[in-house]
Chains A and B, each alone.
Chain A
């Protein structure tokens, strides 16, 4: 729905409510009986590789906590390094840190670090963790020229401080970006992002994306296809996913949401009835399924409400990293973290049915393990 039309419809009172993407009383998940058709079967028909999700350690998750990881209000790079080191050693069972990393990547790889910069300076992937990962990759022999920090939106990357100035020698890439004059449109009247998407690899859903002119630059295209970014299909050979641990209503946005909605275009249409399916289905396509080798859920700073945006009222220091090759298992552990906090803070009384749907769907697609009983969780408190 176009945003201005939406505003007009709510001005009419009750009749607009049922169509609203914001009004919470609208269209609960359970009222949608039939889901739109998609091309998920196309993805499943493509043979898996040795690197396909859930990666080298299915169902294994390491959760590391350090209560002193903030110094003067900022995450400490030194402590983040220690937390990452412990995570990698415990996950891989390898004491030598470089050897631990080389179980997942090699110096020949072009490695894309998928961060989440939507929350600006206050609730984005921390620089402490990102820099710790880069440092450890370089120590493992990965040339810094082979490391890319990426996200869908250049504007968000810049706002969150993922800039060339802060990351000398590291490429910063996005699907959507502005030129020096602040325009997202090139001399031929095309969005720059149109050159950054792979029209051969797409997620089809029988739901039409239709946007106003202000929204379209952030969607790249309307219609029924969501195209994968070339960053995933062409530019990187491995992806290290570094989302932040956030709520999304009574669900979460951590590993799978960061990948799925960050790698494709035309997502506005997918936020309602197909939200859970999209989180899982898009990860089943080869550009993500076969390239994501590690998930580092950054919970140094986290939130328990107001997500996926960054409402300062609901942000807190969780002082935690949750790490695994299996994005579904990592999400499942993070889900409990967020839910526990929401209940403790009185935002929610109990778990809401259906909030874990995307993890269950992902498990059925063999992308990872959603059953908590089958997840091997190792918890370490570094300053105990």
Chain B
């Protein structure tokens, strides 16, 4: 069963971490990724750029219109996500609790329901 773990944050939170601790936090995430890649349970770990870099694309009269994202003012925005493939929900929750930032901010755990087949592009059940 696949699950997505999502972490949110904001610049204020990143800035509040002491530079010395910051290196330790990064190392903790590297260790977390290594641990679960090695167990065969982590399919991918991704971090996004600062909210300032976010763009929005709209289709207006068939033409794409690109603007800056509206996330600069939002309190919390997407920071990272992890895709897991684990035995059951209990295991996904245990891994979520092991995410190094869980001590600062909650980790969202979403069951993944749809996945498109790489070969045909057609939706397949993944549960």
Do they bind each other? Answer: no
**Chain B residues within CB distance 8 Å of chain A:** none
**Chain A residues within CB distance 8 Å of chain B:** none
